[in-house]
Amino acid sequence: MANISEPYVIHYPRIVAVADGSNSTVELIEFFDCIGGAMWSKRHYAQSPLVRDVRSVGATMRYLLETGTVDLALEGSKFPAGISSCIVDGSEIAVTYIGMGGGGVGAAACRSDAAGVLRSRSDPAGGGKIAAATLWLPRMQRVLIGVDDTDTPEEGATWTLVHNIARAVADERSVYLSHTIVQLFPVPYRTKNCVGLVVEFATNDLDGLVDRFHTLLEKYTLSQKTGMAVYTGFTPKKELLEYGRKVKRGEVEAGLLESIKDPDLRIVMNGRGIVGAVAAIPFFTDYEEALELCSGKT
């Protein structure tokens, strides 16, 4: 019979933090191994005053945090654990978790050695003890890369190519977070299904990430009309979402894209597919709207 080296610890595979430009908002992204523990944390951490929103995306739990420090009035069963501090300090983000009993084990023991953690400080945890841990993470920024038109009627599939490139370029400084297929309006010149792609990264190596992605996309695309766009804002602005919805609802003129004056948007490959590449960006991780097939009337 196999032995269990740490019977009371479940290690989080990776933890990432991205901050907005003002350092007032942070998205804490936890890759989890145990869905039950992650869902328990989602339920209770949401009660913390610093947590504005929490959602599950694939094998990650995402906490949208205000920066600051608060005291938490923990109470067994009702509010046994939470996030009590989030501070952006230069190139680092410090997050403090606190919990009682099993919540303290999750706060102090399970997260401290996750990949992405620069260093940590934690209390002894277990039994009925209240324990806290502070993790220092690299301050990263969100990067969204939109792509469309890489295949031909004879071969290829954009969604698979983009995923494989994203995996290939990911490293410790550029963490691959999500992949979203966006259904666009089925224009007559589509290959077949007419979808755009957007992949999301957390990075502190923006230029290196974009260069590597661009190089592989140019190498492997089968089309002469590939579009690639990069968005570096924390959240896509309303103007970009409105543009994306127009592309989902009907064929648009290529010149409409030129009306978007967003300094966070960069065009890297300007083939005909750039329309769908940019349109896909604002739907990252919004899978329900992203996959909706619009009739052109709604």
| Residue 144, CA distances (Å) to 197, 226, 228, 290 in order | 10, 17, 10, 15
Q: What is the pLDDT of residue 192?
A: 56
Q: What is the pLDDT of residue 188?
A: 59
Q: What is the pLDDT of residue 154?
A: 76
- Residue range 234-260, pLDDT digits in tens: 999 999 999 999 998 877 776 788 889
Global pTM value: 0.94
Question: Distance (Å, rounded) from C-alpha 155 to C-alpha 191?
Answer: 10
CATH 3.30.70.2200 range(s) for the chain read: 141-290
φ, ψ of residue 264 in degrees (nearest 5): -85, -5
User: Residues in the chain with pLDDT < 70?
Assistant: 187-193, 254, 295-298
Q: What is the pLDDT of residue 187?
A: 64
Q: What is the pLDDT of residue 103?
A: 85
Helix (H, G, I), strand (E, B) or coil at 245: helix
Q: What is the pLDDT of residue 125?
A: 77
| Residue 279, CA distances (Å) to 43, 63, 103, 219 in order | 33, 26, 41, 23
Q: What is the CATH number of domain 141-290?
A: 3.30.70.2200
φ, ψ of residue 229 in degrees (nearest 5): -130, 150
Q: What is the pLDDT of residue 2?
A: 87
Helix (H, G, I), strand (E, B) or coil at 46: coil
Give the DSSP H or E segment for 93.
strand 92-100
